[in-house]
A = this chain, B = another copy of it.
Amino acid sequence: MLWFVGLGVSGFDSVPARGIDVLARADVVYLEQFTSPVPERDVSRIRDVTGGKLVLAKRWQVEDGAEILKSAKDGEAVLLSYGDPYIATTHIELRTRAAAQGTATGAIHASSALTAIVGECGLHFYKVGRVATIMGGESFATPYRTLYKNMAEGGHTILLLEYDQERDFFLDPSDALAGLLEAEKGQARRVIGESTYCIIASRIGSEDQRITAGMISSLAGTDFGSPPHTVIIPGSLHFTESDALGSTCRCVDAPAGNTVEKISAQMIAKYVPMVRAALEEAKSMYAGKYDDVLENAEMYIRDAEKFLADGHDEVAVLSIGYADGLVDALRMAGGLEPKM
């Protein structure tokens, strides 16, 4: 039998009651620490309740899995890990392999940083969009894009920061934010800037947890203490979220949400007045000619605004593009500059 037991977010204190029984009964317990470090004090409490052998498993031992699967075939084995066990995709793979060799599996779920952090910050979980992971050495294009997508829908974004157990390396929140600001320069979707409101959740679940919030510019140079840290960039804030953040976290600036204008809305805002002006010039140039084309252009400009207001973003963009094309064809034909 192979058990996946979660340590939860508070070390030994957050192991579910039933998980303790499983640890006591097992022949061998593999303690995995590569998702998040487990304090020495907790390791010794785990050792105390573990009935069989306790193995401090290396990352390769869990990824390779051969020894763990053999132990689980021969007896009762436990893989004990931070948070809720199946959040780590490595564990899901191990479960599949156990099933393939005919070994029964079971999980003792425990608290996860994902839900705990959002709640501690006072944010509504149903507003959280897709989680982004930030690796120091990799491109920030993907997390930047995830942030845009979430924020365009008013959602919050959790940014999980790189942790490498072997190098004892945690990506610093400031470096993560600096990387996103750099991505903004390249992609220019107006997603993030110095005035973006951020929340840094540090050591959630431990006794010295702390949540610091404020604009990126205000947080510069702040010492968030020892890791782990998680960054949350909120989207729009409901007043109960602002109140919760303000009353229970250390806010350098008053709680504020972030908004991004969707690319489609940015386009309509830019092109509608531009195409209208181009249309007026074309009208006076042709004075009574090509009325059907000009009327169509006028209609599609209005449609673009209406479709955007109704949430049909793509049709709105298609409409303003079409109106622009109608007008520009006449302008080009008449010797005027096109306005695309």
Q: Which residues 112-136 in A have Cβ within 8 Å of B in the complex?
A: 112, 114-116, 118-120, 122, 124-131, 133
Check A55 for interface membership: any CB of B closer than 8 A: no
B residues in contact with A257, CB < 8 Å: none
In the complex, the answer to whether B122 meets A133 with C-beta atoms within 8 Å is no
Check A230 for interface membership: any CB of B closer than 8 A: no
Q: Which residues 60-119 in A have Cβ within 8 Å of B in the complex?
A: 84-87, 89, 91-93, 95-96, 99-100, 105, 107-112, 114-116, 118-119
Please give the distance in Å from A143's CB to the nearest CB on chain B: 11
B residues in contact with A8, CB < 8 Å: 16, 109-111
Q: Which of A32-40, A212-220, A288-296 contacts B (4 or more CB under 8 A)?
A: A288-296
Q: How many copies does the complex hold?
A: 2
CA A324 to CA B300, docked complex, whole Å? 12
Instruction: Say what secondary structure dominates the interface of chain A.
Output: helix
Please give the distance in Å from A103's CB to the nearest CB on chain B: 11
Check A6 for interface membership: any CB of B closer than 8 A: yes
In the complex, the answer to whether A111 meets B114 with C-beta atoms within 8 Å is no
CA A111 to CA B155, docked complex, whole Å? 23
- 4 closest cross-chain pairs (CB), A and B: A325-B325, A86-B119, A321-B321, A329-B329
